[in-house]
Amino acid sequence: MSQPTETITVNVDKDIIQRTEFKEFVKELEDSPHVIIIMNETYGTIIISGKQVAVNTSKAQIQNKIDKLSSNTNFFNTPDPKLPDQNIKEVMMSSSPESWSIEQVAQWLESINMTAFIENFKQNEIDGSLLISDGLDDTLLKELIGELEYG
């Protein structure tokens, strides 16, 4: 039986996410075969997807690094004031990512300020189950969001 998978979004203060030390740290985490980590410096967003245990471990490691780099409050799960509406938040909180439709994945991308990639995800028919499955390897994921810089 395989381990459960999970995808989370982490909001990080832009001053932290743009620091070389933080970028290098995240790049090391990207080398794990159990998670895919995508960092968007422009919006201060990190997406971690993979085996649930590895995702939670990576999140904890990132939190520890942020704590070391800043005395500010916890940046994880900070609400984005630009989220489109309460309905999207409810969908994201009430259903597991595996059950998301292609449109719900698009809404999620919009909610994390990644609207530029919605069309690529739709054209490739990326639904929730594919988003967090082993079928969406880091090569394909990086093709879908190729415009992001990785450090």
> Of 59, 105, 104, 113, nearest to 81 (Cα)?
113
Residue range 73-101, pLDDT digits in tens: 343 444 444 444 455 555 566 667 778 88
β-strands 45-51, 35-40 pairing: antiparallel
Whether 149 is in a domain gets the answer no
- If pLDDT is split at 50, 70 and 90, which confidence band does 1 have? low
More confident of the two residues 61 and 85: 61
Q: pLDDT at position 77, please?
A: 40
| Sheet containing strand 35-40, strands side by side | 5-11, 45-51, 35-40
Q: What is the CATH number of the domain that holds 36?
A: 3.30.70.100
- The mean pLDDT value for 48-66 works out to 85
Number of domains observed in the structure of the chain = 1
Whether 43 is in a domain gets the answer yes
The whole domain housing 79 covers 5-144
| C-alpha atoms less than 13 angstroms from C-alpha of 5 in its C-beta half-sphere | 20
Whether 151 is in a domain gets the answer no
